[in-house]
Structures are given as structure tokens and as C-alpha cells.
Amino acid sequence: MKNYVTVLIAVSLLLNFLQSKAQNLPQLGKNSAKEVVAAMTLEEKAQLVVGKGMKFGGTSSGTGVGITEDKVAGASGTTFAIPRLGVPSIVVADGPAGLRIDSIRNNDHSKTYYATAWPVATLLASTWDTSVVKKVGVAFGNEIHNYGVDIILAPALNIHRNPLGGRNFEYYSEDPLIAGSMAAAITNGIQSNGVGTSVKHYAANNQETNRNSVNTIVSERALREIYLKGFEITLKRSNPWTVMSSYNLINDTMASESYELLTTVLRKDWGYKGFVMSDWFGGRNAVAQMKAGNDLLMPGTKQQTQKIIDAVNHDSLDVKMLDENCERILNIILQSPSFKKYKYNNQPDLKAHAAIAREAAAEGMVLLKNANNALPFASIKNIALFGNNGYDLIAGGTGSGDVNKAYKVSLYQGLINAGYNIDAVTVEAYKNYIADYNTKHPKKDFFQEFSNPTPPAPEFEVDDNIIKTKALNTDVAVIVIGRNAGEGKDRKIDDDFNLSATEQALIKNVADAFHAQNKKVIVVLNIGGVIETVSWRDKVDGILLAWQPGLEGGNAIADILSGKVNPSGRLATTFPVKYEDVPSAKNFPGKEFPEKATTGNFGMKQIPAEVTYEEGIYVGYRYYNTFNVKPAYEFGYGLSYCNFTFGNLKLSSSTFNKDITATIAITNQGKYAGKEVVEMYITAPVNNIDKPAAELKAFAKTKLLKPGETQTLKFTLTATDLASFYTDKEEWVADAGKYTVKAGASSTDIRLKASFNLENEIVVEKVNKALSPKTNISELKSAPVKETSYINELNNFYTIGQ
């Protein structure tokens, strides 16, 4: 039977081939994409621009991720093949923190398809080291390639506009330079394997509440300088194969139907050559999407294909436009592993990748507090470990950013692996509690779990007597506070951004008991987004922000606690004192119009909504530092087990010509080897439009410096780095005047300054008018604060040009 089928397939392929030969049909690869498109029927064109659909309810493997079973089970989608023209189908799969495919296929447990859960993007950004992120990308891409996937639906680089954003863990930073640099680094790494990326979600998609219907009202300047900037940097530095348009509307037009977003800005202003795909079921009008330049509709429905055919037949869609959509898709398919018939082995080196995940995780953890050198552990043997997530690591967030991993190393396991003893009584109590909760709250089916994940066990209430006994018979307390979130839902203020009463009591009781015995208390934050810290941080001796560190997380946290790795992560997102301090707090998640509700996909109620970005360009540290609002932990902050000095800041010139270089010498004054991050901020002259107090324009991490060792770092600043966006002229302009370069160990800990002069303004670039808001936005403006009181600018260091 099997032989018979094989013969049939061979005969049909041969017939196909002979037919193409006889008709002299163009073949992709031999002929140009244009020639292939010219030979396509209208039906074939309409099929190529619409994906093959999606299966709900998970696959037969039962792991529940699957939607595309024909080639790679659990991938998110595939495109149509046109065999007579040599066009194969390609496979796309999520996501930003690792390849999301089914781990078990057809109930065959003898073979597994697990993938590496990498540290989440917010952690990767906190490395402030693009070489580490690129290294993750190289290994990540190898996994994608060896599992038969052509394009990964990542990286995701929306801005951390508000700490409650449910998908913030998938995104890098509140700052577009960090976001764009990291996304470019991972894209370069992934694509070096011959597979593609899809940078998402383009654009201004910074919340999950009403994500398919929310109208984002935002100024052109905030778009250009904040929300589009990261994408622009990524595209120019790494040329991703594809871009994914977002679900939301921008200034009244759906992102995937916006010609101005997808053609005027993306292609005309930035020269992008790849193709654009929609987010899953995103947009409402397939024809408008084609016209806008949204080349591929994913996952694709038969109705969309029909609408496109009808529109061409009724002259409401020019077939030339459809041809361009097809050509752009074919030009990427040409480069794909599926086109090249790559023989993937389904056996990536998961062990080697786990080692890279562990290294990257430790690089991006941020030491927030270390009173009296509580860390690294010295003469500690016995640890009392508190907090559910000490035993049940949150490796990454939920939704399409989740990964089917073979295992995850909890902090409990990581500390055991590092040779510590963990107090048995606490271990037993927590393990029983978590097991009992999980039995009583079994996971729901794929779709329900995806849209509404089973909440994790509430924090275990530990008996105070246990805590007091442990303070006597262990050396240190470690408390893990965990948070999880993901696609489809934003976080809330109570019991999420703010700690719950049980968590507050746990910290207080443990701190009281351990401090009474002169023992220290360390808090480890296993979180995917920002939380409140000021109400409890004074009670503890050390705080390590471990983020959601991927499958090797427990080992990586133990590496830092033990001192095997000296922490060098820095915040790429601000920790405010309280939620109300966040500049977007009064405009998040916006207004709803329930009376205008309609029925959306799958019969789900869709409520029109709008959110106005009144804070304009003042996002994150641009706001806190300009308006003198002191955060709990500022952007760029992070401690090391060493101190570093910044010395000898030199500029190549005191007047700006084509560019200017800055050099700075960093010396490790500590007793351990360590790495320092140098953050270069610029304060620009304010002539016509207001500007943030300072903006990050370059950054670098030193190599591992031995005690006493010095490294000189060099930064080049170009006119682009000096420019702001002038909406009235549609120009990026570097204003004439004095620019101050500030070398900081954080956005408020400025160690050295130097300045240069720009004699005449430079018009760096003129762009097309696009994406103007239709209503007036009362945007936050500021008379710039010269020197904010809490910013520590040490003027006693060597400075030049002042």
C-alpha cells in the first residue's frame, strides 16, 4: 500500500513537471518572482496572499498549541503551495521567547519536539549587551531551522508604555533605542541560519484590553520618536524577512489596513523590501489590507480569498496591486528553507542551547538592592526558601509567547545543584500545597487556557512558627515573589502591580524573624513586568530581579546568588514608586463604547474603544527625568558586586561635524571580576520644540574586567542621534546649539559630562506626511527642567567643553 502511494505521488509530480515543461511554465528560482506572478491565475494569487487557515482545539498530541498539522504540528500557520510554478508552502510559528510547536505528535511519546524556553525579551534587554542577544538568536534560529519552520513570529518590540501591559514580557523596553537594538541583534542571529523573522506588532500596540478594536490616538511626533523608532532601527540594522501588522487602529485606521503605515512609512520612508503579514485574524477588510500593502493575511480564511477574487473581478482591486503583494511574498519564499528543500532533522542541540539560555539569563538579571553586601552568599550553607515560585519557576509568560519546553529548573533545584541545603520543612509544605492546588485546578482545554489561563496558586500562607524555627536553624532566607501574564489580558493594580496582603505579610514575618537572629533576607523577583517595591524594600537586605528567565532560570539565579556570576543587568524599563506616577496611568487602557459593540471573530463581542497617548513623547524615563518624578528604580539602574569608576571622557571635537566620537575609560575597583554598562545620554538644545531632559543615544557593556582592570569604550554619535521630529515640517532636525553628552551608570546617575556645539541646524531627513491624528490631542508639554534635583550629576569629575 505504502509503495503504491509513493508511486502515485512520484507519477503525479512527474506529470506536474512534464506539464510545466510542455507549457513552458516559469518556475520560482529559475524565473523571477515577477515572471512567476505573471503566470499565476487570479485564484492562485488570491490563495497565495491568504494563509491556509488554522485548526482550533489543539492537535492530536494533546499539548494544545497546534494549529497547523500538515508539516510542523503546533506551528501557527502555513501558506499555500503552487506546485506547477515551483512555489512551496512555508511554515510560520511563534514566538518571542522560543519556538512554540507541539512537543508530542500523534500521541507518539517515543519522539519529542521540545524547544528551548529562552529568557523573555524584557530580561534580554536588561543585558544591555547586543552580543549576548545575538548569540541567543543564533541558537534560536538553529532550532527553528532544524524543526522545519521557515519564519519565526518574533521578535516583538512594542514599547513598555504602561507597566500593566499584559504582553510586556514579550517586549524589550520603554526606550526605542534599546528595543530596536535588541530586536535587530536577535534578528541578525536568527536569520544567520537562513530562516526568517517577523517583527511585531507594527505598531502602537501597547495593551491587551480591547486589543482588536482599540483606536490608538497618538501624535505623529510620539509615533516617529517612540512607537515607530524601534521598528525603524530594527529594519535598518537587520532587514527582517517580514513585519507583522498589529490588531489596533492608529488614528482611526486599522494598522493592517493603513497604507500610510505599511507603505508610506515602511516602504517609502524606510525602504523596506520584505513582506507584511497580518496578526492572526487581524483587520476587517481583506481588500483594504491588500491595498494598504498587508501582503499576507494570516492565518487565512476562505472568505478572505473569495473577497479578493471578487474585488478584482468587480474592478475594486487593481490586479497590479495584488501582483505586488504576491511578488513580495515570493521573493521571501525564495530564500526559505522549504524552497531550498532543507532536510531538517528535528534534533537541535537542546543541551547546548540550554547552556546559552542560562548564560543569557544571568547576564540580564538586575541586582536592585544589596545592603551591607548581603550578596553574594558568603559562608551560607542552609537556606530557607519561601514563596510558591521558589518551587515552581515562571520561565516565561502565557499565550503565544509561551514555549513547550522539556523541563524548567526551579530556584529550589538550582540552589541544590549549586550545593546548598534547602530546609526540608519548607520544601515539603510548599510542594504539597502547590501539588494540591494543581490537582484541584486542572488545566482547561487549549482554547480556554489560551484565552483565560488557569491562575497560579495564591501565595501559600506560611505558619509564623515555621518561619521562626527556620530563622533559628538556617543561614539565610530567600523569598521568591512571582508574577505571570500574557496575551489577551492586561495586568491589574491590586494583587498584581501591588503585592497582595499575603505577600506583604510573608516578607514582613520572614524579615522580622530572620533579622531577630541577625540573618539576612533576600527577595528574588520572578516577574514578567514591573511591580511596586517601595512599600516593602526597606524590610529586606537584597533584591534580585530575575525576570522570567527561561528554562534554566533556577540555575541562573543560583549563579548570581552564589557569586559564580557577578550581576551586570540594568533596567530597560522604570520601576515607579506608585502606579499613579506612570505618565500613561490616566490613559490606560482607555475608554470603551459598549453601546456600539459588534460581533467579532468566532462570535466574540467586540467593544469599540480608544486610548489617547496624552503623554506624547514622555514615556518612561523621558517623563520621570523631565518632570522630576523620582522613581523607585530608574531606567538604566542595576548594581554589581563591584564598583566601577568612569574616567577620561573625551570627545573627538568640541564642534559637531559629520559625527562625533566619545571615549571613556571604565575601571573595576571591586574585588571580583565584573562588567559595567555605560549609558550615553544626550541633552539637546531647546530652540523651538520641547525635548526630554535627556535621551539615551548609545550604550555598551564592558568585557569581564578583572579587579583593577580598565577598558576604554568608544561611541560614535551621528546627526541622526541629535535629531528630533518636527511635525509641522515632517523633518528630523538636529537643532543648532549646545549638546551635552552624559555618561551614566543609570539615567539619573550621571558620572561624566562633556559638551559640543552644533553651529547650524541640520535637516537630517525629510519624510512623508503620514498617520496624523484626526482629533486634537492635549499632549503633555514641558518647560524643560535644567537639572532635576534627584539626578546625581557628579560635576567634580573630569569634563570637557563645559
Active site residues: 279
Which listed residue (135, 145, 161, 200) binds ligand BGC by CB under 6 A? 200
Nearer to ligand BGC, 76 or 533 (CB): 76
**Residue 356 CB, nearest distance to ligand BGC (Å)?**
23
Binding mask 437-476 for ligand BGC (x = CB under 6 A): ----------------------------------------
Question: 525: which 3 cell numbers?
Answer: 523577583
Q: Is 317 in the site for ligand BGC (CB under 6 A)?
A: no
Binding mask 472-501 for ligand BGC (x = CB under 6 A): ---------------x--------------
Residues 3-62 that bind ligand BGC (CB under 6 A): none
- CB half-sphere exposure, 136, CA atoms < 13 A: 35
- CB half-sphere exposure, 357, CA atoms < 13 A: 30
Distance CA 608, CA 64 (A): 30
Q: Is 168 in the site for ligand BGC (CB under 6 A)?
A: no
Distances 799 to 1, 288, 732 between C-alpha atoms, Å: 82, 56, 29
Nearer to ligand BGC, 200 or 405 (CB): 200
Residues 765-794 that bind ligand BGC (CB under 6 A): none
Contact present, 397 and 482 (Cβ < 8 Å) = no
Distances 418 to 69, 191, 354, 556 between C-alpha atoms, Å: 41, 35, 17, 10
Q: Is 76 in the site for ligand BGC (CB under 6 A)?
A: yes
Distance CA 117, CA 551 (A): 5
**Residue 156 CB, nearest distance to ligand BGC (Å)?**
6
Q: Is 280 in the site for ligand BGC (CB under 6 A)?
A: yes
Residues 240-279 that bind ligand BGC (CB under 6 A): 279
Which phi-psi region, left, alpha or beta, contains residue 139 (left: φ > 0; alpha: ψ -120 to 50)? alpha
Residues 664-703 that bind ligand BGC (CB under 6 A): none
- CB half-sphere exposure, 364, CA atoms < 13 A: 36
Nearer to ligand BGC, 225 or 279 (CB): 279
Nearer to ligand BGC, 76 or 338 (CB): 76
**Residue 95 CB, nearest distance to ligand BGC (Å)?**
6
Output the CA torsion 648→650→654→659 (10° steps): -160
178 three-state secondary structure = helix
Strands (E), 103-150: none
Closest CA to 725 of 159, 225, 234: 225
**Residue 205 CB, nearest distance to ligand BGC (Å)?**
8
Partners of 543 in the β-ladder: 369, 523
Nearer to ligand BGC, 74 or 631 (CB): 74
Nearer to ligand BGC, 61 or 76 (CB): 76
Q: Which amino acid is at 375?
A: L
Distance, CA of 81 to chain centre: 31
Backbone angles phi, psi at 430, to 5 degrees: -65, -45
Which listed residue (94, 260, 295, 615) binds ligand BGC by CB under 6 A? 94
Nearer to ligand BGC, 166 or 616 (CB): 166
**Taking the CB of residue 1, how many other CB atoms lie within 10 A of it?**
5
Residues 378-407 that bind ligand BGC (CB under 6 A): 400
Question: 734: which 3 cell numbers?
Answer: 538636529
**Residue 489 CB, nearest distance to ligand BGC (Å)?**
12
**Residue 280 CB, nearest distance to ligand BGC (Å)?**
4
263 three-state secondary structure = helix
Nearer to ligand BGC, 28 or 91 (CB): 91
DSSP code for 524: E
Q: Which helix (H) or strand (E) holds 292?
A: helix 286-292
Contact present, 559 and 566 (Cβ < 8 Å) = no
**Residue 374 CB, nearest distance to ligand BGC (Å)?**
39
Residues 327-356 that bind ligand BGC (CB under 6 A): none
Question: 25: which 3 cell numbers?
Answer: 511554465
Q: Is 153 in the site for ligand BGC (CB under 6 A)?
A: yes
Q: Is 171 in the site for ligand BGC (CB under 6 A)?
A: no
Number of chain residues interacting with ligand BGC (CB under 6 A): 9
Contact present, 647 and 797 (Cβ < 8 Å) = yes
**Residue 311 CB, nearest distance to ligand BGC (Å)?**
25
User: Could you list the residues that contact ligand BGC (CB under 6 A)?
Assistant: 76, 94-95, 153, 200, 279-280, 400, 487
